[in-house]
A and B are shown apart, each in its own frame.
Chain A
Amino acid sequence: MAITADQILDIIAEEVPIERSELKPDATLEALNIASLDMISVMFALEDKFGVIIEQNDVAETKTLADFIAVVQAKSDAQAAAG
């Protein structure tokens, strides 16, 4: 099952935590004051809820929320294809 951008943003809002309305795709993690440890919690929740495994290296270069969403969706698709 493909993960939607909204589902990913919902998890970020829940885990960081941060107001959902602040999470615009072009916002950078830095501008939103989201620390790397907060994103580890987000990745944990994504694995728990959607079974998608994301390593820290996968998201080392992400700057914006849109970058992060793209990585998560690509990993999810790849892992689904691999069965």
Chain B
Amino acid sequence: MGAVSALGQGLDATWSALDEGRGGITRIDRRVADSEIHTFAGPAAVCVPLDTRALEKRSGPRPLAHLDPFAAFAVIAGHEAMEGAGLLDHPVLEQRTAMIWGCGSGGNQTIEDSYARSFLKGATNVHPLSIPKQMISAPVSHLSMMFGVQGPAFTIASACASSGHAIGEGMWMIRSGRTEVAVVGGSEAALTYGSWKGWLALQAMSDDTCRPFSLHRHGMVLGEGAAALVLEDYEHARARGAHIFAELAGYGATSDAHHITAPHGRGAEAAIRAAHADAGLAQDTPILISSHGTGTPLNDKIESAALRNVYGDSLGQHRVIATKSSHGHLIGGGGALELVTAIQAMNAGVVPAVLNGLGPDPDAQAPVAWVREERRFDAVISNSFAFGGLNSALIARRI
């Protein structure tokens, strides 16, 4: 596994921030080029500066040159995951490895640079690498080039569920026998003027911070970064003595078929039930629930209702975490980062606190982990419910 976000670069930095309850949300104040009017400011979870030393050893100087940030984050997290899995330069990468990456939008910064150059500076041409930098498949192309992965490789785009779907479909690559390994995850870099203004116009953005399931929550806070996982056939991983973090055991994917922005609980419920059925895990077995938990009034209300409907009376023995309160909303990368951190929490025997709470909301009742707790769970479920009603739920088990 690998991760980079406002919480830090690397698994250790990510987990210690969560374990210690250190949030990554700060206030930003930015402008496009030197424009007087194209400014944006508010709470955001800005990714830490990238340490490229490990990549430089592999790829030479300036390994991130000509990469949009959403691809740069991907190769940083991907390298950590591949190195940790002991798969760098392994022969399985040549044919029997898939690579599936989740992205919600694309190279926002590159698109914006082209617009700023054209409309603010009056230029009539743009950088020749504009298309290869901004295309939504750029991260997976760079990952496959950097690591020599020659099997099936592509991007999945399903907004905030992109990397949840990427992980689930990667698991099916292995289950169906197409590959032994699947490198999966997602990334996003949307702290740009156009993206910011778009989210603001939807009135989805909080003006203070992210308070999932809390009273007085005002919306989401954008984050940026990436997370990657190496999925591998169990026997294949055992035979080569790989470090195994967990078993990816269940995947549910559904669609609301309802509305382009408003969630409908039936899709979320169906995805959670499907993941449990796929994993063969009873719903009353204690489980750590890594919620979608965006902090928007509507998501948390609908999500908590879905959890109550699915788990019924047994919900009280589960715990609900919402790490977007720490690392912000990574959109296409969120599902991956939230599964990685849920597995870290399970393995540490710690339930990390949901930050910024101002008290439980009676309209969003769930057993939310308002304070850090040392508690052992043998399974985690990570839920992602995207705009447009595209849902994924992933279950991982202690190994």
B128 touches A44 (CB 8 A): yes
Complex alpha-carbon distance, A37 and B133, angstroms = 13
The interface residues of chain B, by DSSP majority, are classed as: loop
A37 / chain B contacts, CB cutoff of 8 Å: 128-129, 132
Which positions 113-149 of chain B face chain A at CB distance < 8 Å?
A: 125, 127-129, 132
Decide yes or no whether A51 CB sits under 8 A from chain B.
Answer: no
Q: Mark B87-129, 1 if CB is under 8 A from A, else 0.
A: 0000000000000000000000000000000000000010111
**Most interface-central of B65, B127, B128, B129 (chain A CB within 10 A):** B128
- Asked whether any CB of chain A lies closer than 8 Å to the CB of B61, the reply is yes
A residues in contact with B57, CB < 8 Å: none
* Smallest beta-carbon distance A21→chain B, Å: 11
Contact A41 B62 (CB under 8 A): no
A25 within 8 Å of B (CB atoms) = no
Question: Chain A residue with minimal CB distance to B63?
Answer: A17
In the bound complex, CA of A47 to CA of B66 (Å): 18
Interface centre among A17, A19, A43, A47 (most CB of B within 10 A): A17
Which residues from chain A contact B127 at a C-beta distance below 8 Å?
Answer: 41, 44
Pair count A-B, CB < 8 A: 19
Decide if B128 touches A17 in the complex (CB within 8 Å): no
What 1/0 flags go to B39-69 for Cβ under 8 Å of A? 0000000000000000000001110011000
Contact among A41, A43, A47 with B129 in the assembled complex (CB-CB below 8 Å): A41
Find out whether the CB atom of B61 lies under 8 angstroms from the CB atom of A19: yes
Interchain CA distance A37-B128 in the complex, whole Å: 8
CB distance from A34 to the nearest CB of B (A): 13
Output the nearest chain A residue to B123 by Cβ-Cβ distance.
A48
- Could you tell me the distance between the alpha carbons of A37 and B60 in the complex, rounded to whole angstroms? 19
Write out the residue numbers on chain A whose beta carbons fall within 8 Å of the beta carbon of B125.
44, 47
**Main SS at interface, chain A:** helix
Nearest chain B CB to A38's CB is how many angstroms away? 9
Q: Taking the nearest CB of chain B, how far is it from the CB of A67, in angstroms?
A: 21
Cβ B129 vs Cβ A17 within 8 A: no
CA distance A40 to B126 in the complex (A): 12
CB neighbours (8 Å) of A19 from chain B are: 60-61
Interface residues of B in 129-184 (CB under 8 A from A): 129, 132
Q: Which residues of A contact B132 (CB under 8 A)?
A: 37
In the bound assembly, the distance between CA atoms of A40 and B60 in angstroms comes to: 22
Closest chain A residue to B61, Cβ basis: A19
Q: Which of B310-352 contact A (CB under 8 A)?
A: none
- Give the distance to chain A from B247, nearest Cβ to Cβ, in Å: 42
CB distance from A42 to the nearest CB of B (A): 9
Judge whether A41 and B128 touch: CB under 8 Å.
yes
Chain A contacts of B61 at CB under 8 A? 17, 19
Complex contacts, A41 vs chain B, CB 8 Å: 66, 127-129
CB-defined contacts of A17 to chain B, threshold 8 Å: 61-62, 65-66
Q: Which chain A residues lie closer than 8 Å to B65 at the CB level?
A: 17
CB neighbors of B among A25-73 (8 A): 37, 40-41, 43-44, 47
B85 to chain A, nearest CB (A): 29
* Chain A minimum-CB-distance residue to B128: A40
Residues of A within 8 A of B66 (CB): 17, 41
Q: Could you tell me the distance in whole angstroms from the C-beta of A53 to the nearest C-beta in chain B?
A: 10
**Closest Cβ–Cβ distance, residue B75 to chain A (whole Å):** 15
Interface residues of B (CB under 8 A from A): 60-62, 65-66, 125, 127-129, 132
A-B CB contact pairs (8 Å), 19 listed:
A17-B61, A17-B62, A17-B65, A17-B66, A19-B60, A19-B61, A37-B128, A37-B129, A37-B132, A40-B128, A41-B66, A41-B127, A41-B128, A41-B129, A43-B128, A44-B125, A44-B127, A44-B128, A47-B125
